[in-house]
Amino acid sequence: MTFKAKLLHTAQKNQSLVCIGLDPDPRLMPALDVFEFNRAIIDATLDLVCAYKPNLAFYEAQGIAGLTALQKTVEHIAGRVPVIGDAKRGDIGHTAGAYARALYEVFGFDAATVNPYMGFDAVQPFLGYKDRAVFVLCRTSNPGAADYQDLDCSPAGAGHARRLYRVVAEKAREWNQGDNVGLVVGATHPGEILEVRQICPRMTLLVPGIGAQGGSLEAAVRYGTDASGGGAIFASSRQILYASKGSDFDRAAREAADGMRREINSILSRRSAG
């Protein structure tokens, strides 16, 4: 089964477009083993999400123990919900191939985030895994994204700006020959979400930046979903993971995830009715 098929199945089954970022930060989480923390979050929210998204940096920062916890986390989910490896890899073709094998074959992720800065050959090895998905960084949610992503790439005298993120979206559309390419577009840039959706009407958008980063869920859902009300994954990490820092953290995470799920479904209902 392809990533898109798994995602559609899970989204319909759970009536959810919510993705929880499994980003364990020892400074914020209860005094628990990383895997035990993740397992409690997963067990409390499995029926409320369409995907999980571990950010590899939080595991790499804890060395071998962190990577072991990551592997155990993916195994615990065991194919029940798609898992996106948020690695943001990007390198020359030979090295990119090793990154793809690590993410897809060793860790077993259903999808991975990839940095397209070095061009097609840095992305191509990931595309060869037809049952997996590649989410290309397009318009990211961080404040410094504008340093490069807003650069005008239009020819001299064109009379209108063609921002770099638009070029990335157009390239990703070309690369999507296997229907396994998606785009990362931050919720902190709702206007750009709309532009990217217009360029790529049928591709899946991964939309981070909701919650702690201040992205508008209302705008992200209205602009990010496709004509059928799907085709988008709305990711939140800290707002859900650390809804409580006490012993009830898993119950609080469930309430936060369910609240986000209900809000998304309410926005979709209003959009459909309007």
Integer Cα distance of 245 and 158 in angstroms: 53
Task: Give the count of beta carbons closer than 10 Å to the beta carbon of residue 98.
Answer: 12
Provide the β-strand partners of residue 176: none
Q: Specify whether the CB–CB gap between 36 and 72 falls below 8 A.
A: no
Tokens of 126: 């990931």
Integer Cα distance of 70 and 228 in angstroms: 34
Q: Specify whether the CB–CB gap between 122 and 116 falls below 8 A.
A: yes
Radius of gyration of the chain (CA): 18
Task: Give the count of beta carbons closer than 10 Å to the beta carbon of residue 193.
Answer: 28
Integer Cα distance of 43 and 37 in angstroms: 10
Q: How far is CA 29 from the centre of its chain?
A: 21
Which residues are marked as active site? 88
**Counting every residue, how long is the chain?**
274
Integer Cα distance of 92 and 150 in angstroms: 24
Task: Phi first, then psi: give them for residue 94, nearest 5 degrees.
Answer: -60, -45
> What 8-state DSSP symbol labels residue 101?
I
Q: Specify whether the CB–CB gap between 223 and 196 falls below 8 A.
A: no
Integer Cα distance of 113 and 84 in angstroms: 8
